[in-house]
Amino acid sequence: MERWPWPSGGAWLLVAARALLQLLRADLRLGRPLLAALALLAALDWLCQRLLPPPAALAVLAAAGWIALSRLARPLRLPVATRAVLITGCDSGFGKETAKKLDAMGFTVLATVLELNSPGALELRACCSPRLRLLQMDLTKPADISRALEFTKAHTTSTGLWGLVNNAGFNEVVADVELSPVATFRNCMEVNFFGALELTKGLLPLLRHSKGRIVTVGSPAGDMPYPCLAAYGTSKAAMALLMDTFSCELLPWGIKVSVIQPGCFKTESVRNVSQWEQRKQLLLANLPPELLQAYGEDYIEHLHGQFLHSLGLALPDLSPVVDAITDALLAAQPRRRYYPGRGLGLMYFIHYYLPEGLRRRFLQNFFINPCLPRALRPSHPGPKPAQDTPQDPNPNPNPSPVAAR
């Protein structure tokens, strides 16, 4: 088959000049992602020269270059101007850091906290501008939500409400479903789903008027069955599905909806080991005797130890999550999903593309690898790993989800 001649050196200079112009227009950050993309494009160019005719090769290179640019280019940002944003759960963690950043950028920030005199609330008062307003709100109390709606309307009459950040989250138990009281499922749903739903619905008239944004902080535990996080994960799964529904239904109104699915970050609740110890003791104290006999106290101690070990490897820098929330609020075309955190790409690839058995083993080895309950052990009192899940002697549970914010 006759092959077309590959472009000459002069033609390649012209192509390179046009590519450089496109790079400048794309406003790319020079860093490892860009250098890696350029290296891959160079390798693809080498393969295309040897395997494809020039028209097909140029089409492949053009498509690959466009994909690389669209993924690496800084998204167009809207001006902050006089935009107002309501953020829930600002006592600590992602909510507090997001409130501080948005206030520094010039936003009018309405920050809800559980206690107006909590350390996080006092910190926000001390370091933020007078534009930031604090409001006490408990998402399990309809009266507090109604008061927050009136407060928001009163403080956004001149600016309108541009964005809602559903950040407040709650988890109180780390245990198998059978060991978890039904009340813990209700409590998680009240905060993580029903409270956020009521607040979001109440603010929709303001958001429809501004064609604004809804940003919700979720969790990978809502996408995949993390061991011992069923109560937390099911509430996050319900919230993610609700946000997907909102995304479709509110599109004609111009409202854009995003969900942030962060990895494990070292928020205040993650660092509070004594709090998790108290919750474990409360679980043991209220466990029915027959369940305690079947599973064994050492089984729960084993789960608790592995959970604390995974939290100890959490990332201390919260800025990836804060940056994702900021981008969802200001990007001209925000993503529907953001995945800040290390190891999430591998975790989601395994979850969506590998067999179910491998997915289960991955989650157990990298988060909590349960031992056999006492009733299933032949005759040995000590905990043993479950038979279908060989234990990794050097677990690296870094991709674990955020247990609470």
**Positions marked active-site:** 232
Q: Both ends of the chain: CA-CA distance in Å?
A: 63
Angle between helices 196-210 and 230-249 (to 10 degrees): 20
* 273: its two tokens: 């080991």
Cβ-based neighbours of 382, under 8 Å, separated by 6 or more: 298
Under 8 Å between Cβ of 262 and 269: no
Strands 108-113 and 84-87: parallel
Under 8 Å between Cβ of 343 and 122: no
Place of tokens 């009340």: 183
**Dihedral, CA atoms, 313, 317, 321, 323, nearest 10 degrees?**
-160
Say which amino acid occupies 108. Answer: T
Under 8 Å between Cβ of 397 and 311: no
Rg (the chain; Cα; Å): 25
Q: Within 10 A of 320 (CB to CB), how many other CB atoms are there?
A: 18
DSSP-derived secondary structure letter, 390? P
